[in-house]
Amino acid sequence: MTDQSTNIPKWIIIYLWLTAILTVAFSLLGYFKPDALLGTWDAFSAPGSLSLAGPVGLFVARNLGTAAVNIFALIQKNASMIKLVLLLRLVTDGFDCINNLIGGNIPIAIFGGVMCLIEIFAFSKIKTS
How much is the mean pLDDT over the chain?
A: 85
Residue 120 in this model has a pLDDT that exceeds 90 = yes
Number of domains in the chain: 1
In a domain? residue 91: yes
Closest CA to 74 of 82, 63, 66: 82
Q: Give domain status of residue 71, yes or no.
A: yes
Cα angle: 35, vertex 37, 43; to 5 degrees: 65
* Structural domain includes residue 1: no
How many Cβ atoms sit within 10 Å of the Cβ of residue 127? 10
Task: Convert the pLDDT of each residue in 42-84 to its tens digit.
Answer: 666 666 666 666 677 787 888 899 999 999 999 999 999 999 9
With respect to residue 53, please indicate whether it lies within any of the assigned structural domains.
yes
- Does residue 39 sit within a domain? yes
Inter-axis angle of helices 10-32 and 55-76, nearest 10 = 150
Please report which confidence band the pLDDT of residue 122 belongs to, taking 50, 70 and 90 as the band edges. very high
What is the C-alpha separation between 67 and 50, in angstroms, rounded?
Answer: 21
Per cent of the chain over pLDDT 70 is: 80
User: Distance of CA 42 to CAs 27, 35, 49, Å?
Assistant: 19, 12, 10
Domain coverage including residue 57: 10-125
Instruction: Using the predicted structure, report yes or no on whether residue 34 has a pLDDT greater than 80.
Output: no
5 in any annotated domain:
no
